[in-house]
Amino acid sequence: MKTRARLPAAPRVGRAKAAIGGLLALLVLALPAAPAVAGDIRATVRDRDGKPVADAVVVVVPSGGAAGAGTPPGVAEEDQRNKEFVPYVLPVQAGTRVLFPNNDNIRHHVYSFSPAKTFELPLYSGTPTSPVLFDKPGVVILGCNIHDWMVGYIYVSESPHFAKTGADGKVTLGGLPGGDYTLRVWHPRLEGSEQATAQPLAVPSTGAVDAATTIGLTPDFRARRAPTPGRGGY
């Protein structure tokens, strides 16, 4: 009678190693992800009289010159309410598209002749279907061809690390990789150049660093708001 040859059994050591390897893989997947290492900048902007400056844009750029990766630019809004641009200062990253909704019950004619972005939105109400692309860093001054006092600013940043001060002149830029940076400040009434405000800053890998900037402000030469005849829905 012929007997069927048996296949050799797998070594027990090999099976044990495979089981341990699988268990370790499951344990690694179950462990919580390590928190991201990043630091914050607590910035304060004041004028020469020591008063807080609102609507100042604080920008930080790595000292190496590369702007670094950030959230991909999306879509922002520059509203028109009560015959004013809202917000007065809108900081965005280069590559951002901006919508210009008109929430007044009259029509506006928005335009800019700034080198960073020249465009025109003829008389309209509601929200234009296509946003405007701001792809070049710089300052864009907005105006309305109907209401002379309407002035607004879009600050287009080359860096993803920027923010605007509140009424207390303060703002926090969070989530920056630790390292050496250059901090700059811009304001619509800034006396002198933005580059003159540059200061080096070392951001810790964890925790926060304080940065104080004093700037001079020029007089506010905005046109005085005046009543406009309500003819033709303007």
Q: In the chain, list all ranges with CATH 2.60.40.420.
A: 69-158
pLDDT for 150 beyond 50: yes
pLDDT tens column, 131-149: 999 999 999 999 999 999 9
What CATH code is assigned to 69-158? Answer: 2.60.40.420
pLDDT tens column, 214-224: 999 999 988 87
Taken in order 48, 53, 57, 63, is the CA torsion positive or negative?
A: positive
Q: In the chain, list all ranges with CATH 2.60.40.1120.
A: 39-68+160-223
d(CA 196, CA 193): 5
Q: Rounded to whole angstroms, what are the CA distances from 37 to 84, 177, 216?
A: 41, 7, 36
Confidence class for position 66, pLDDT limits 50, 70, 90: low
Confidence class for position 20, pLDDT limits 50, 70, 90: very low
What CATH code is assigned to 39-68+160-223? Answer: 2.60.40.1120
Contact 90, 151 (CB under 8 A): no
Q: What is the pTM of this model?
A: 0.81
d(CA 232, CA 108): 12
